[in-house]
Structure 1
């Protein structure tokens, strides 16, 4: 799978520089010149693996773009900014950034951090995951049951993957909330129940893989006689 990197930067010269580095390392750059375009591109396609995000951008700044991405996705985000002091670095990491690099940056440091995130993506992504009658392509996020494409939104998809990676393990609502919505989510915990109800319905008969463990949370379990 070729890793696609969304580069959101309003400075054309600097954006071209980052694109050249990304290409040289063997990845495919996708360009955005402001925060609005970055959001539009990220959510209009499902193949963005990594985001390189400048903080100071027109329309929506990097913080706003990061917040929007984190509400729907855990794709790695590398922040680039001239605000290179420790205070802003801590702020970036607390808001969900995976890396924070001040401008101007050292070439070798940037490449090392870029490749570090790419290695994580490669470790996490496999071509196909088969669980019971559910087939998932983790590269394209395509979910298929009995040759029927199942359309899941990002939260539902992340929920399904989280359940599968923790099969036969009871997951509390707090665990699910922290993993899928983030530790700083301020909404109602019943949001989890609503999303799981919708996910079960979309998974057709395989929705019964998601068991309710009364008083504890939820567990993903596949019967031994299911066809693989």
Structure 2
């Protein structure tokens, strides 16, 4: 049974999210601010996903997300009452894997939780004993190495810290070298949801991946832009 940490300073939101997640068989832990969330995560090593509000007292969601990413790789879904693109981009830049604007449909949140966990376990079999061992779990592209079994990426033998979603996008492109993926292709393949034309989530993640794996993100060696079409790795 997966365990979800719900972090929100509004008790009504915490309770509502808990009801829907428990109805799907998830175990939940609730808290009201970022400091308490970090304390829980330091003690509870088996938490699988965090639902994290942005606007909170003591330690806000952005700061909490950064702290979590220093130690843990589990998926993080951010919640915010703000709908501006800049807030969404900021959350994704700080390491979040997905973002929902309040008020949200609890069923949509549940669907996104399921989607994030499916991808995380599929590409991180070291934490899921039910996934069969993949004998071809290593992708090597020049000095870029992607290990599907351990969910790790390396540049010149130095580990690159990617979020679960960043890792998923990199794997999608690396497994299909030479194939151009449009932004909608990437979104629908990785998020398993219908793409909305105004959504810039994929571009934000591509930029973050390039910053981590490319020596010069403005002149990328690996993830190439095919203008007007999408992205590819063609090495």
Hey, what does 2:90 align to over in structure 1?
91
C-alpha RMSD over aligned residues? 3.1
Secondary structure of the corresponding residue to residue 5 of structure 2: strand
Please give the secondary structure, in 2, of the residue aligned with 1:109. helix
Structure 2 match to 1:16: 15
TM-score, structure 1 length as denominator?
A: 0.58
Give the number of equivalent residue pairs.
Answer: 152
Matched position secondary structure for 2:71: coil
- CA offsets, 1:81-101, max 9 Å, x none? 101221111111111101100
Secondary structure in 2 aligned to 1:100?
strand
Distance 1:85 1:55 in 2: 13
- Structure 1: unaligned runs, 5 residues or longer: 132-160, 186-228
Measure how far apart 1:55 and its partner are.
Answer: 0.6
Equivalent residue runs for 1:155-166 within 5 Å: 165=150
Inter-partner Cα distance in structure 1 for 2:102 and 2:151: 39
Distance in 2 (alpha carbons) for counterparts of 1:42 and 1:15: 17
Match in the other structure for 1:172: 156
Q: Find the residue that maps to 1:104 and give its secondary structure.
A: coil
Please say if residues 50 and 74 of structure 2, whose CA atoms lie closer than 8 Å, have aligned partners that are also in contact.
yes
Equivalent-residue separation in structure 1 for 2:100 and 2:130 (angstroms): 34
Which structure would you say has the larger Rg? 1
Conserved in 2, the CA contact under 8 Å of 1:82 and 1:104? yes
Map of 1:37 onto structure 2 = 36
CA contact (8 A) 2:154 2:160 kept: no
- The answer as to 2:81 corresponding to 1:82 is yes
User: What is the CA-CA distance between 1:116 and the residue it aligns to?
Assistant: 0.7
Contact conserved, 1:49 with 1:121, CA < 8 A, in 2? no
Q: Which ranges of structure 2 fall in alignment gaps of 5 or more residues?
A: 134-145, 164-207, 213-235
TM-score by length of 2: 0.57
Residue 170 to residue 7, structure 1, CA distance change in 2 (3 Å): closer
CA distance in 2, matches of 1:179, 1:59: 27
